A = this chain, B = another copy of it.
Amino acid sequence: MSPGASHTPPPVRDHLDRGRFPVHPWRLVERVFDASDMGKTETLFAVGNGYLGMRGNVEEGRETHQHGTFVNGFHETWSIQHAEEAFGFARVGQTIVNVPDVKVLRLYVDDEPLLLPIADLIEYDRSLDFHRGLLERGLVWRTPSGKRVRVDSRRMVSMTQRHLAVMTFEVTLLDSDAPVTISSQILNRQDGEDEYHVRSAAMGEGVDPRKAERFARRVLVPQTQWGDEEQGRMVLGYKCADSGMTLAVATDHTIETANDYTQRVQVEEDMAKTVYRVSARQGVPIRVTKVAAYHTSRGVPCRELVDRCRRTLDRVDDEGVEQQFRDQRAWFDAYWARSDVEVDDQPEVQQAVRWNLFQLAQASARAEGSGIPAKGVTGSGYGGHYFWDTEVYALPFLTYTSPACARAALRFRYNMLPAARKRAGQLTQDGALFPWRTINGEEASAYYAAGTAQYHIDADISYALSQYVHATGDHDFLEREAVDILVETARMWADLGFWRHNGGSSFHIHGVTGPDEYTTVVNDNLFTNVMARHNLRRAAQAVHELEDRWPQAYDRMVTRLSLAPDEVGEWEAAAEGMCIPFDAEQGINPQDAHFLEREVWDLEATPPDKRPLLLNYHPLVIYRFQVLKQADVVLALFLQGDEFSPEQKRANFDYYDPITTGDSTLSAVVQSIIAAEVGYHDLALRYFTAALFVDLADRHANASDGVHVASTGGVWNALVGGFGGFRDFRGVFTIDPRLPDSWPRLTYRLTIHGNRLRVSVTHEAVELEIEEGQEVRLSVRGEDVVVTAGTPVTVALDGQGPRLDGMPDPWPTHGAVRAPDGELVTASVPHAGGGSGR
């Protein structure tokens, strides 16, 4: 391709078949059933609440790409076997368990089963309702004998009662009478499809490290099972063979119909069934309601969990099912009031934005004692593990829209602190080192170069909690818990780094990996050092703040953490002396001390069938070159933006963007934000669109593994931080928008210190209004603004910041030509996908 050609980016397309998936502002709608991409649609239509999640499997239980019901943090453990062992390697594998499935409601008319892939469907409509928080399906089926049957169902995982799921299933014969059977099940699938931990014996080139491990043995050991025909209640209880975690699942059933029917309950170790046999008459509806409760624990006996299930079900029995639907709606009223982002006159974008924000609710709302898995509760990808995705991609959204959820996620890290201290010890470091990937707090990353070596996770967590404290003013959390994380992570950095006296004196951090997993185990990774500096400073500040303002809390903390008198000074010195790689000649920050000495990967000469790189080149090959899987320096430009001048930002973006493959979904949102900031407006929108449709258009060809939760959080960041121009460095809130040319208006909400501010950006102005609370102070394009309740403020804008044409300039020089929305890539490797990072 000629250098000129590379300056003409391909068009932005959303890749959705709008005949099948029509645009709707508050729903994802499917008008045509298609079995060919069930993996994707099971993910897109999943329902969940952050604790319990159900993939969008069809009610009938088959066909399916992957059955999936997940409880956040409910996992099995196993001994990691390294092909070659070494001291300190991760030992305890952790894999989220596909728990017993209550979604199954099989329908037989004239003893013929309804099976969508072969059914004659006269009507079909499925929609995920972002406002009512439920999945609905309506269809009319012509049975093999020609009878038309209307089937309507709803499936909801409750936001108000996190252990609860509710399903309704209504069947009406439209033409004539017929025997109807509805078999409602709880099904524990240990049938070799989902639960098998068989790593490919062939070990072909196609092995994908992003999939969950499977088990070759039974995971869920039956503990209890019973059914009560009279009450229509059924219970199954299990214990994980190795982790010892326990689970009980119970269902209540009710039937409402004027037809004659019989009911039978059958319970076995791995299956419980309530079967209704109905002598159905034409036009007389049959309505079955199924209420399910899941309770889980680290080791409480099953009988106690069964009691908890009973209480959940009894409560619904008292309140009625419809009340649950009303509660759900009310919950989402509040959610959208806090969280909605509106893009005027862009209905496709608006729908996709709300789908993304809805996923954030589904991934985090009721996670509470747990973290936020990379796939939320929508799939088993990455084994249900927690990564830095939570802190860097999802938490900003929660902090500014649902601070209580943000606090819960941060408290989860606080509870992991003892394990993180232990892990630091295993790596011969002081303080605490949070694991790169984990469920139970122990490091589960079996490949240290792109796992354990990412020490930056300590700083990412500290960053997120600092941001949370700034945005909320939650000093109680700071002094009682967050300070412990800050101190222990600062200790880790102070111990990990060292002073080098080489002319001057500077503080260096060696042998770590930054966010970009295409360059590993380096010295002075820019991102790591900048974030560690922030971590060290913030820890020192927190200690000083306690000492000055809450002396008693300070004393308790000093005792609790055995804080030595000279420690804080050491952190401050390390922060001030921190080596920040900078290349004066090019005016850029090298990604690490020696990054610029590497050869530049010739992306132009890399054929599409060799993408993504991680599935086509040995790590040693990739590591040898200047080529990025995902934003690294560019991410630092966003998170620590006040540490870089506008010129540095542009120079860095110009340098790194052309050599960034985007093989990780964590990349496009960050590239969008900085592209917008430095002035590449088209490119920013392009990257944003790529991120917005990562799952909806299955752009990385692995939506079937579950929602890319980090990307959904990144979409919010790109909207609010990128186009919306919001920043919050050191607790100072600023707005400097970059509204895309094609968007007339962008509106978002921020909850700051308990006050909810609506920010509405047009090409001419920023309009600010308090929606709830008293007052918010911030700065718009350098102008200090105080917004008080009842008094909206409008700040006129002189354009949307700097404007640069086309693509970053050095693209042809670096030989990198690829569509920033990843089209070329996903087109050619449909079953491979985009990166071992999310």
Contact = CB atoms under 8 A, between A and B. Distances in A.
A812 interface: no
A89 interface: yes
A718 to B, nearest CB: 30
A266 interface: no
A618 B86 contact: yes
A616 interface: yes
A673 B457 CA distance: 46
Given A599-B510, A617-B87, A618-B428, A623 B521 contact: yes
Interface string A56-88: 000000000000000000000001111111111
A87 B500 CA distance: 37
A595 to B, nearest CB: 11
B88 A618 contact: yes
B620 A453 contact: yes
Interface string A448-465: 110111000000000000
Interface stretch (A155-163, A203-211, A390-398, A477-485): A203-211
B87 A615 contact: yes
A199 B521 contact: no
Given A199-B81, A203-B91, A207-B85, A452 B620 contact: yes
Contacts of A79: 201-203
A445 interface: yes
Contacts of A521: 521, 620, 623
Chain A interface residue number, banded: 35 or more
B594 A523 contact: yes
Contacts of A620: 88, 427, 448, 452-453, 511, 521
A621 interface: yes
Nearest to A428: B621
A598 interface: yes
B619 A86 contact: yes
Interface in A583-637: 593-594, 597-599, 614-621, 623-624
Contacts of A505: none
**A86, A208, A209, A446 pick with most chain B CB within 10 angstroms:** A86
Contacts of A199: 81
Nearest to A621: B428
A447 interface: yes
Contact of A614 (B87, B427, B447, B598): B87
Contacts of A598: 510
A413 to B, nearest CB: 22
A80 B81 contact: no
A774 interface: no
Interface in A462-510: 498, 500, 508, 510
Given A620-B452, A620-B521, A83 B205 contact: no
A312 to B, nearest CB: 38
A426 interface: yes
A-B complex: 5 closest residue pairs judged by Cβ atoms = A88-B618, A83-B446, A84-B447, A511-B624, A84-B446
8 contacts: A81-B203, A84-B445, A84-B447, A88-B617, A428-B621, A452-B618, A453-B620, A498-B599
Given A88-B619, A523-B594, 19 more contacts: A81-B81, A81-B199, A82-B82, A83-B447, A84-B209, A85-B208, A86-B447, A86-B618, A86-B619, A88-B617, A88-B620, A427-B621, A428-B621, A448-B618, A448-B619, A449-B449, A453-B620, A508-B597, A511-B624
